Structure 1
Amino acid sequence: MRRCFPFAIFASLLAGGCASSDNTPVNRSLDSFKGSSACYDRETEPYTPVVDTHLHYRPFDGRAIPFNEVNDYLSQTSVRFANVYGIGQMLPANSSCSNYLKCPGTPVSPTTRNDFVNAANMVEYKPDDLHLTLSMTFTDLSDPEPTVALMKLYEKEYPGLFHWMGEVNLVKQAQFNNRHKPATPKDITKWAGFMAELRARDYPITIHSDIGNNATPTLYLPLMEKALTLYPDNKIVWAHMGISYEQKSLDASEHIAILSRLLDQYPNLMIDISWRVLEDYYFSKFGNRSKYVAFMNRYSDRILPGSDFVAFRGNNFKVYQSELEATSRILQYIDDDAFRNIALGENYFQLLDLEYQAPVICQS
C-alpha cells in the first residue's frame, strides 16, 4: 500500500497535499510544487493529472465560456498547470454555425482572433493559484510564410506572454468538409523560418497530424515523418498519439510500434494522450490496456496529459470533469515513475524549464 509518511500529513494539508485524516482527497496548491513537498499518495489522492497540456480556452465560433470560469473548473479539480490554447481555425465571424461538423462547406480558417482574446484575458485576469502557459494557435501549416511576422506582432503586443505554439493542424480529416487541406511535403519544407524562431525561443509546438483512417491506416504518416526529419531539433508534441475519430480500429501493436520507432529516432519528439477517442477506442479495448500501460511506462519521460476540452458555451464543469477523468483513466495503471513524470507534471516542468517539481510517490 502507498501511504504518505506520517510526519508529512499535517504539513501537506497546510500546503494542499495528500489527504485528510478521513482519507478525503485534498487537491494540492500551486505553491506545493515549489521545492520539496509531501509525497504523493496514489491510494488517497486523485489519479487525474496536475497539468492539462491540451485545453482549448476558446471555441470555433467565438462564443466561449468566460476565462475565469474555465480557471474555476481547473481549481475544482487536481489541475494546477495548463496550456491556454485557443483554436486557431475558426468559423466565419458572421456564421450561425457553432459546430463545423454539422456545417459542411462552411470554411474553418486559420486566424489570430482567439489568441488575442486569450492574451487579453491573461493580462486582465491572470490567476494567482494556477500556472497558465499561453500558446499561439494561428499558424496555417499549408501557408507558413506569414507565421514569423505574426509571431513578431504577438511579441510586440504581448511581450513575454506566449511560450508555446499549437495545437496546429498538419492534417485533420475531421475538417476536410470545411475546406481544410493537409500541408504538403513541399509546404513542410517552408516551415524552416518559423521552426527556427521556435527553436530560438525554446518554444514547443503541438501538431495535430492524423496517422491515417480506417480504410488506409498509415495514409498520412509520411507527413509527420517529413516534419520530424526536417526539424529534429524542435520540441514537437504529437497530439492525440496521432489518432482521430476517422481511425478507430488501428491495431494497438501497430500503433505502439509506430510511436516507439519515432520516439527512438527523434529524441525531441513527445506525444500527448489528450482526447477521449484514445480511451474510448484504444486504451479500454479488450487486451489493449496492458499494451499501452507498458508503452507509457517505457516512454514515461516523453508523454504529456491533456483533456482536449473545448470551452464553448454549451459545455460546463461536468463536461470538463468527465473529459479530464476519461483522458486520465489509464494513469491509474502506470508505474510510479511514469505517474510522477506524466500525471504529476515532471515532463511538463522539464519541457518548459519551469521552477516547479513533481512530488515523489509515497512508499509503503
Structure 2
Amino acid sequence: MRRFFPIATLVSVLISGCASSDNAPVHRSLDSFKGASACYDRELEPYTPVVDTHLHYRPFDGRAIPFNEVNEYLSRTSVRFANVYGIGQMLPANSSCSNYLTCPGTPVSPTTRNDFVNAANMVEFKPDDLHLTLSMTFTDLSNPEPTVALMKLYEKEYPGMFHWMGEVNLVKQAQFYNRHQAATPQDIEQWAGFMAELRARDYPITIHSDIGNNANATLYLPLMEQALALYPNNKMVWAHMGISYEQTNLKATEHIAILSRLLDQYPHLMLDISWRILEDYYFSKSGNRDLYVRFLNQYSTRILPGSDFVAFRDNSFKVYQSELEATSRILQYLDDSAFRNIALGENYFRLLALDYQAPAVCQ
C-alpha cells in the first residue's frame, strides 16, 4: 500500500527544498532549523541525527578525502551540523604508513597540521547548506605547556573560527605501540592554564579516555575522574562513553553505573555516542539494548551523537553512510524527548549557544 505524507511532513519538505519520492527519506535544510518548523515525523523521517559532533575531516597520514566531498557526504544524509575535527596525532610526514595500527613503532605525534588545513578549507570552501564548527585537535595532554600559546596563534591566524577543542587523548591504548603515553596525574594538574582559557572562551573539549581494558575494567578511570574533579566547570565531552576496542566485555550495568555516577556528580560533563564499537559490542548485545535506552532517556540532555568517521582518501560515501547508521541505530528506540535532544540537535545547539532550534516531534 502506498503511504501518503501527512501535511506536517509535506510542509517540512517544502521548507527543506528537497524533492521526495515514496521511499526516499526526507532531509531537512539548514534553514529549517532557524525557527519554528514542521514537526518531525519519526515514522517517515530518518532516525539518523541532524548533527555529527565527532567527524574527522583529516586522517592520520594527511591524505584525505577532499573537504568539499566530505561536505557532500553530509548533504546526502540527514546531517546539517558537524564538528570539523582534524586528527591531532599524525604519522610522520615522510612515512609511507597510512594506518598506525599496522605500523607499530612508528610515532603518532601531536601536531597542528590537520587543524590548519581544516581552517584554510573553511575559509575557501565554507558551505552554505551546512553549519560547521572548527575544533582544535593539536593538544598533547601529556605535555600541556605549549597549549595556551598555540591557542593564541590559532586565534591570530584564524580569528573567531575555532569554537571547540578535541578530540584529544588522555589515554588511548590503541596508540601505545606508536609511542603515545597516557597523561599522568601530574600532567592533568598542568592543564589549568588551557582549561581556564577554554572556560573563558566557553569552548567544549572532547576527551578520549579509555575506562579500562578486558583485563582490568577500570584501570584508567581514575584519570578521567581526576580531570573532572580538577576542572568541574569546563564543558567536557567524554568520547565514545569511555569505551575502546581494548574493552569489549565491560558489563552494561557496570558501565552505566560509572557513567551515571559521574554525570550526577559533574553537571558540565557530556558523553558522545560516537564510534560503532558501542553499537557492535554494547548496545546490540543481548539484554543490553533496553538498559542503554533507559540510560539515554534518563540523561538525554547530556548526550551527543557522532559517527567517528575518518576521511581517509580510500573511504567513500558508503562508508560514511554505514558508520552514521550504525552509530545512530539506538536513536530509533529513544522516547520523543530524548530523540529531540540528541538526534534533532537540541543539546548541540544549547551547548554552543547557537541560534538554531530542534523541531518538535509529531504527536
Normalising by the residue count of structure 2, what TM-score does the alignment of the two structures yield?
A: 0.97
3-state DSSP of counterpart to 1:106:
coil
In structure 1, how many angstroms separate the alpha carbons of the residues matched to 2:180 and 2:85?
Answer: 19
Q: Corresponding residue for 2:80? A: 80
**How far apart are residue 350 of structure 1 and its match?**
0.1
**How far apart are residue 11 of structure 1 and its match?**
2.5
**How far apart are residue 6 of structure 1 and its match?**
4.7
Q: Corresponding residue for 1:239? A: 239
Q: Is the 8 A contact 2:50 2:78 kept in 1?
A: yes
In structure 1, how many angstroms separate the alpha carbons of the residues matched to 2:92 and 2:155?
Answer: 26
Q: Is the 8 A contact 2:48 2:325 kept in 1?
A: yes
Q: Corresponding residue for 1:61? A: 61
Q: Corresponding residue for 2:327? A: 327
Normalising by the residue count of structure 1, what TM-score does the alignment of the two structures yield?
A: 0.97
1:339 maps to amino acid: F
3-state DSSP of counterpart to 2:123:
helix
3-state DSSP of counterpart to 1:52:
strand
Please list the CA deviations of residues 212-233 of structure 1 after superposition, one character each: whole Å capped at 9, or x if unmatched: 0000000000000000000000
In structure 1, how many angstroms separate the alpha carbons of the residues matched to 2:93 and 2:315?
Answer: 20
Q: Is the 8 A contact 2:9 2:41 kept in 1?
A: no
In structure 2, how many angstroms separate the alpha carbons of the residues matched to 1:19 and 1:252?
Answer: 42
Q: Corresponding residue for 2:106? A: 106
In structure 1, how many angstroms separate the alpha carbons of the residues matched to 2:333 and 2:4?
Answer: 19
Q: Corresponding residue for 2:296? A: 296
In structure 1, how many angstroms separate the alpha carbons of the residues matched to 2:270 and 2:315?
Answer: 29
In structure 1, how many angstroms separate the alpha carbons of the residues matched to 2:18 and 2:282?
Answer: 31
3-state DSSP of counterpart to 1:186:
helix
Q: Corresponding residue for 2:342? A: 342
Structure 1: gaps of 5 or more residues: none
In structure 1, how many angstroms separate the alpha carbons of the residues matched to 2:96 and 2:87?
Answer: 18
Task: Report percent identity of matched pairs.
Answer: 85
In the TM superposition, what are the counterparts of 1:78-157 in structure 2 within 5 Å?
Answer: 78-157=78-157
In structure 1, how many angstroms separate the alpha carbons of the residues matched to 2:255 and 2:337?
Answer: 23
Please list the CA deviations of residues 44-82 of structure 1 after superposition, one character each: whole Å capped at 9, or x if unmatched: 000000000000000000000000000000000000000
**How far apart are residue 25 of structure 1 and its match?**
2.2
In the TM superposition, what are the counterparts of 1:1-364 in structure 2 within 5 Å?
Answer: 6-16=6-16, 22=22, 24-363=24-363
Aligned residues: 361
Say if 1:165 and 1:287 are closer, same or farther in 2 by CA, change over 3 A. Answer: same
Say which is worse superposed, 13-22 or 97-106, in terms of deviation: 13-22
3-state DSSP of counterpart to 2:168:
strand
Say if 1:108 and 1:278 are closer, same or farther in 2 by CA, change over 3 A. Answer: same
- Aligned alpha-carbon RMSD (Å): 1.5
In structure 2, how many angstroms separate the alpha carbons of the residues matched to 1:315 and 1:11?
Answer: 35
**How far apart are residue 7 of structure 1 and its match?**
4.4
**How far apart are residue 136 of structure 1 and its match?**
0.0
3-state DSSP of counterpart to 1:166:
strand
Q: Is the 8 A contact 2:9 2:40 kept in 1?
A: no
**How far apart are residue 314 of structure 1 and its match?**
1.3
**How far apart are residue 16 of structure 1 and its match?**
1.8
**How far apart are residue 14 of structure 1 and its match?**
1.4
**How far apart are residue 5 of structure 1 and its match?**
9.5
2:49 maps to amino acid: P
2:241 maps to amino acid: M
Q: Is the 8 A contact 1:17 1:26 kept in 2?
A: no
Q: Is the 8 A contact 1:19 1:45 kept in 2?
A: no
3-state DSSP of counterpart to 2:309:
coil
3-state DSSP of counterpart to 2:310:
coil
Q: Is the 8 A contact 2:135 2:163 kept in 1?
A: yes
1:54 maps to amino acid: H
Q: Is the 8 A contact 2:9 2:39 kept in 1?
A: no
**How far apart are residue 280 of structure 1 and its match?**
0.3
Q: Is the 8 A contact 1:5 1:362 kept in 2?
A: no
Say which is worse superposed, 254-263 or 20-29, in terms of deviation: 20-29
Please list the CA deviations of residues 172-224 of structure 1 after superposition, one character each: whole Å capped at 9, or x if unmatched: 00000000000000000000000000000000000000000000000000000
Q: Is the 8 A contact 1:4 1:39 kept in 2?
A: no
Please list the CA deviations of residues 270-308 of structure 1 after superposition, one character each: whole Å capped at 9, or x if unmatched: 000000000000000000000000000000000000000
